[in-house]
Structure 1
Amino acid sequence: MNFVIPTIPDATRAQHASKGWPLALAGSVLLLVSGLLSWSYDPSILGDISIAFWPATFQLFAMILGVIGIVLALMHQGPLSKLGNWFDAALGLRALGTASLLVILFGLFAISYQAGGLININPGGWVALLGAILLLVGGRFVPQRTLHSFAKAKANSTLEIVVIVVLMALVLFGLAYVLGQDDPWVFVGFLIMAGGAAMALARAGFFTWLSHISQRHRHVLTLAAFAVAFLFPFTQDGSDANMSIATQVLIFAATAIGLNIVVGLAGLLDLGYIAFLGSGAYVAAMMSNAASATIGWKPPFVVVMLIGACVAATLGLIIGSPTLRVSGDYLAIVTLAFGEIFRLSMFNLDGNNGPDLTNGPNGIPGIPDLNLFGFDFGKPHEIAGFTLGRFSNYYFVLLLLIGFIILVFTRLNNSRIGRGWVAIREDERAAEAMGVNTFALKLLGFAVGAFLAGLAGTIKAHQDTASSPDQYIFLESAFLLSAVVLGGMGTVAGVLVGATILKLLPEKLRFFSEYRLLLFGLLLVVMMRVRPEGLIASKRRQLEFHEDDEALASEIQQDHLVEKAAEAAR
């Protein structure tokens, strides 16, 4: 039995269409005004929202939602109505109304829970609630308009570049803000607000337009993204706590991009991929200057990185050669077994049950920090008046590594090899019938993905200062696969977003104690139900999940023609 969300009949919406726009605009204005009012008597709640005309946390969240609502309302009818021919302001207002109500209700619940009752909510909170309700009701009655296709849009190039730069600056500010929040209520509220605002903008078509201008200014977007990533440590005021999370995110993302080759491009389900990361880490640990290191040869770290990556690639070839002749569930079971075999092997290589290489369950602790060309990664450094701690030093190296990995991924994806992988994923038998060497390409995918994971593992060993078997359990492989699926298989940006969410949320949701993984799992279930193609999906994958969407198919075809015309012009 399917559950159908009730919608307003078209006849009812047409009858009350004249009331929708004023209600939505009034609700947005009330949200904006509520941010200037006091929400609580207690200054210790939610970052002091008791002060009027000095907005903080939830007051700012309400103001941001109000501004977006005003812009969407004026795009539908008002000074910005020309933009309404391109953006679906009606759908955006409907999504924004739902998101605003969720944010405000969560904020009021947080105040009443911490202060001991609804009586402690000041007028600002009630004004925000009224505004959210008006926006929700008004948005439901705003009629949709016939829109132009973004594929035919021609905008000012300078304006498009400015939009990209401003958006990247907002991403930098948002990351710095969310990592700096110690109050769990504020953190969750920010996530709801950011997710709701993003959903409203997506429904309005903003991200569709953004994807078009990103295609036209791909190099500008790439440069701006790396500039944001480079400047991020300078926003943390020398905080090692936040930078530790950031380095874990980069290691996780670099490994997930390698897995994206196997899963996202070639369509091979690998449930033991964490073993390749672990093999690189153990090679670096055994060749380090740690007192418990078991190999006497101490080559330069660049050589260690290549050795660790090649060892991981060799393991990929060893496991791939006999097993890639099976597929589906059988391949998943074999790769799962390989991940467990690796972990158990690290337990047994202790000198008693096997060669003395890994010190068994004790692992290899006390791995010293890197020292490249006289630069000690373990010491803080002053740059332009900013203090960069130990984790910031590793962050920059990992940033270079992930840049290299992204380059490898994109080059392979756009090559004949990448097209062969996609053909195998779509229909292996058809690809083989067309002359594609499916076994060799699948084996190459395993080897390249393992090579990239091994590179990340060598840096991880020094950043963690230890390497032990307990770090490479099946749950880590499951998280890597979740990052690829959640973000969007076959895309770089999607995997980066997925890896960030999967590493950041568990760290910031520790106040939920043992329930955090349960909440996290529920979030993934909802995400797979609402957007199964992933947060940032490729057009091909998106169409696979929405085969009946003729408008989407037409848009993808137009995008393809525009891209071919742009390539021909270049």
Structure 2
Amino acid sequence: MTTTTTKKNSAAPEPRRSRPVIGLPASAASLGAAIGAVATFASTFLAWTWTAEFPGDLTVTGYPGGLQLLTLTGALLTLVFVVAGYGVRGLGWLTPGGKNGPVLLFALGTFATTWYTVIAIAVKLGGLANLEPGGYVAAAASLLTLAAALGLPSDVAGDHDNPNVWQRFVQSFKAPTPKEASALPGWAEILIIAAAFGLGLFVFTYGIDTEAAELFIGYILLVAFGATAISRAGLNRRLAGLTSKHKNVTVTAAFVSAFAFPFTQSNDAYASIGTNILIFATVALGLNVVVGLAGLLDLGYVAFLGVGAYTAALVSGSPSSTIGIQLPFWAAVLCGAGASLIFGVVIGAPTLRLHGDYLAIVTLGFGEIFRITMQNLDGSSGPDVTNGSNGIPNIPDLDLFGFNLGEPHTILGVELGRFSNYYLLMLLFTIIVVTVFRRSDQSRIGRAWVAIREDETAARAMGINAFRLKLLAFALGATLAGMAGTVQAHVTFTVTPAQYKFVEAVPPNSAFLLAAVILGGMGTVSGPLIGASLLYLIPAKLQFMSDYQLLLFGIALILLMRFRPEGLIADRRKQLEFHETGQLDAPKGDIGLSKAGV
């Protein structure tokens, strides 16, 4: 009898499926989500309003436009992942991390975009009377899709006994470990990488090309939920595995996609956003050397960008320059990078013996001292060098090998304007900075930086000269920022002290640069590039919210630190640091001899 009890208690419990957020059979929930997605897709071919005053012209039957295209895309992706959940051959590759979580997230994104559109039409045009039947159909169908998706069981085990509906809903967003995928041919993996970067270029270009704020808000809603759904499906990890396997192909595909961007733009004003994003992203990547690799909290980093910009403005032939000389561009770049390097060493040598908050306060002070000094060198408060608050205007456009970057040029049958020309020049500098960062990260020096960042005392004990290596990181980051500043001076025509405040509504500034590194993912190459793109693109497109941008920015950072402290793109070390306890799990089940009748 005792033996029988022991076997009964030691047997593994039967696995139970997780309880859905809404109590529906899984098959009925999947069918309802599929029907709702098809109905939502069909609703985009109906007119949603009778007047073309709303951006995007949603009055045409049989031809989706504006925000209808976003709803159509969300409904189609929802349907694809619902079908993938049925085990259709080939589509299972899309859901290595789970099949129901992505459906819920895509349904939620489609619902948010559709209902935002309906509400925006009613608010902008003056009431629900401005909606056509297609708008009501879209709202009802997207609601049906979301309700059915909430009925799907969670892919994460362990929440079946939880009576709290909200907690089970949040649990539906958590991704389990993706399943191992069967090996693909090398050519197929390369095609997947190329397709991923091509899709990324299309999504990014679509966001830049949106003219109305209503369209951009809908775009942000769908992209945010869509990116979370892709992560929940495990596709990001699967793609990361392919990119780490084909690193050279990945780098080539990334820069080919970036090179193609200006050729997709018919308006040079949109190319200007891309140019400034590259400047911002390049400087953020330089800061990533200091913060992400060496772990030095620098709050005055934008000053090094200003040193490079002011140096280039003084030696590039501006009529307002007090020096009155004009050097070729390559010499101006060397001057700007060299001046920033000198400032980095001069500032770093006496301050890098400080740690943590003390170092942050000193670098913050340096940033403000630089801005105030440039403002006082006006011939009144100090020597006449920088023209004070007026800055150095009328910086001439660059002329490289007879190619004037300020004039339109036709390349490959496409006319590239001034900002497209500077975009391609800045892309070259970005390639240089990325190469320097990758080589540094993979070198002995890079490993020493990481050791200092993780535990400086232990690094010193292992024989690492921490002060010398921290000074090297500080100087290298300053040099990269100064190099980007030489291009910024020619792009903006004018260099003024107001451009280099610690906090300013329009980046780049020290606060936004640091936020870009943290948002994207410290210590990675693509993280600061993505973080900088988001932090520049969103304020540029939401000018009508300028009074609330810093408030929304703060809320976004709080949410990010709560739900994804390692950043959007995080390396393995950061994921373990923020999500692993480092302790063994407590034993579960009936263990010991007490249950065996002893």
Match of 2:446 in 1: 418
Q: Secondary structure at the match of 1:175?
A: helix
CA contact 2:95–2:234 (8 Å) conserved in 1: no
Shift of 1:145: 5.8
Match of 1:68 in 2: 77
Return closer, same or farther for 1:85/1:246 CA change in 2, 3 Å cut-off.
closer
CA contact 2:46–2:61 (8 Å) conserved in 1: yes
1:500 equivalent to 2:536? Answer no
Match of 2:61 in 1: 52
1:133 equivalent to 2:129? Answer no
Match of 1:79 in 2: 88
Shift of 1:230: 0.9
Higher Rg of the two aligned structures: 2
Match of 1:541 in 2: 574
CA distance in 1, matches of 2:558, 2:155: 33
Write out aligned runs for 1:295-334 (5 A).
295-334=323-362
Deviations 1:307-333 (A, max 9, x none): 211110111111111111111111110
Q: TM-score normalized by structure 2? A: 0.87
Shift of 1:176: 2.4
Q: Secondary structure at the match of 1:511?
A: helix
CA distance in 2, matches of 1:307, 1:85: 52
Q: Secondary structure at the match of 2:415?
A: strand
CA contact 2:34–2:79 (8 Å) conserved in 1: yes
Shift of 1:440: 0.9
CA distance in 2, matches of 1:138, 1:460: 51
Match of 1:27 in 2: 36
1:368 equivalent to 2:400? Answer no
Return closer, same or farther for 1:426/1:266 CA change in 2, 3 Å cut-off.
same
User: Which of residues 19, 26, 49 in structure 2 aligns to 1:10?
Assistant: 19
Amino acid paired to 1:360 = G
1:124 equivalent to 2:134? Answer yes
Amino acid paired to 1:506 = P
CA distance in 1, matches of 2:567, 2:155: 28
Write out aligned runs for 1:334-373 (5 A).
334-373=362-401
Amino acid paired to 2:150 = R
Shift of 1:74: 1.4
Shift of 1:148: 7.9
Q: Secondary structure at the match of 1:387?
A: strand
Match of 2:487 in 1: 459
Deviations 1:195-238 (A, max 9, x none): 1111111111111111111112222222121111111111112x
Shift of 1:54: 0.4
Match of 2:247 in 1: 218
CA distance in 2, matches of 1:440, 1:344: 30
Match of 2:167 in 1: none
CA distance in 2, matches of 1:425, 1:394: 36
CA contact 2:85–2:99 (8 Å) conserved in 1: yes
Q: Secondary structure at the match of 1:466?
A: coil
Deviations 1:347-376 (A, max 9, x none): 222334433321222211111111111111
Mean Cα displacement is larger for which, 254-263 or 60-69?
A: 60-69
Mean Cα displacement is larger for which, 308-317 or 376-385?
A: 376-385
Amino acid paired to 1:406 = V
1:385 equivalent to 2:418? Answer no
Shift of 1:521: 2.8
Shift of 1:398: 0.3
Aligned residues: 543
Any stretches of 5+ residues in structure 1 without a counterpart? 1-7, 552-570
Return closer, same or farther for 1:21/1:314 CA change in 2, 3 Å cut-off.
same
1:400 equivalent to 2:456? Answer no
CA distance in 2, matches of 1:84, 1:189: 25
CA distance in 2, matches of 1:308, 1:512: 35
Write out aligned runs for 1:196-275 (5 A).
196-237=225-266, 239-275=267-303
Deviations 1:389-417 (A, max 9, x none): 11111111100000000000011011111
Return closer, same or farther for 1:493/1:116 CA change in 2, 3 Å cut-off.
same
Give RMSD over aligned pairs.
Answer: 2.2
CA distance in 1, matches of 2:140, 2:295: 49
Shift of 1:435: 1.5
Deviations 1:12-71 (A, max 9, x none): 878732322112222222222122222112222131112122011222111111111111
Q: Secondary structure at the match of 2:313?
A: helix
1:473 equivalent to 2:483? Answer no
Amino acid paired to 1:230 = F
CA distance in 1, matches of 2:413, 2:291: 44
Amino acid paired to 2:501 = I
Amino acid paired to 2:137 = V
CA distance in 2, matches of 1:198, 1:474: 31
Moved over 4 A (4+): 11-15, 144-152
User: Which of residues 502, 514, 526 in structure 1 aligns to 2:559?
Assistant: 526
Write out aligned runs for 1:482-501 (5 A).
482-501=515-534
Deviations 1:128-184 (A, max 9, x none): 223322332222332356988555641233222222222222222222222222211
CA contact 2:24–2:152 (8 Å) conserved in 1: no
Decide which structure has greater helix share: 1
CA contact 2:378–2:387 (8 Å) conserved in 1: yes
Match of 1:155 in 2: 184
Q: Secondary structure at the match of 1:364?
A: coil
CA contact 1:487–1:497 (8 Å) conserved in 2: yes
Shift of 1:450: 0.2
Taking only the aligned residue pairs, the percentage that are identical comes to 46
